[in-house]
Amino acid sequence: MIEIKNISKKFGKNLVLSNINLTIKKGESLALLGSNGSGKTTLLEILIGQIKPTTGSVLIEGKKETFKEIGIQFQEGAWPKGVTSKLIISYFLKKTKILKDPEVNKLIDIFEIREFLKKDLNNLSGGQKQRLNTLLSVINNPNYICLDEMITGLDLKMQLKLIDFFKSLKKQNKTIIVISHNPEEVEKLCDKIVILKKEIFFTSQQLKQLSKILDQLET
């Protein structure tokens, strides 16, 4: 279980998150929605310990700072020159013989990464980098997985494939937190949603009206 308690975050004078309280049970999947700049990524960064909140705390399975339980897919990051997908995957695994690990090989095939495994990351397309970033979120078989606009930039076939992949992880009782601007992704993966800033909580029944809700958000 993840417990987000009274989290606020200020960047200078900019109050981005104000007193957020959220509980995400094991096996539950939550969509974090909100307009651009409402603080979704900031909340994820606090969740994984990348930045410190101004007030409040995060407990994972009742403990503070157990961030290794969480796998995260970030929106595109900058990599130094000469770094390949193979190197990054082995760094995340903290071992080098990645191609001999059947589980990792399976993931490399699901995310269709083998064709560019040895290519400099800076020479990959946006969608290829996105696939690699998403693979890294599950590389160590975490119980909690955070996806930050996971399908953005992917072709339609890959979007559906990865949504199905994460649906299968959900069935294995993994907890998934999804940031998305895509109603289909949210409807397929999430049991409940929370909209940041407006502090509105929705039940799974109300998810059926998600497109309407998202329209209202944009206005």
Ligand X SMILES: Nc1ncnc2c1ncn2[C@@H]1O[C@H](COP(=O)(O)OP(=O)(O)OP(=O)(O)O)[C@@H](O)[C@H]1O
Applying CB under 6 A, which residues contact ligand X?
11, 16, 34, 36-42
In this complex, which beta carbon is closest to ligand X, that of residue 11 or of residue 201? 11
Least CB distance to ligand X at residue 25 (A): 23
Largest CA distance in the chain: 51
In this complex, which beta carbon is closest to ligand X, that of residue 41 or of residue 159? 41
How far apart CA 44 and CA 60 sit, in angstroms, is 13
Whether 119 and 87 have beta carbons less than 8 Å apart is answered as: no
How far apart CA 61 and CA 105 sit, in angstroms, is 30
Whether 60 and 144 have beta carbons less than 8 Å apart is answered as: yes
* Residues facing residue 32 across a β-bridge: 179, 194
Least CB distance to ligand X at residue 75 (A): 7
In this complex, which beta carbon is closest to ligand X, that of residue 105 or of residue 211? 211
In this complex, which beta carbon is closest to ligand X, that of residue 113 or of residue 195? 195
Least CB distance to ligand X at residue 160 (A): 23
* Paired tokens of 205: 């029944």
How far apart CA 47 and CA 40 sit, in angstroms, is 11
Least CB distance to ligand X at residue 35 (A): 7
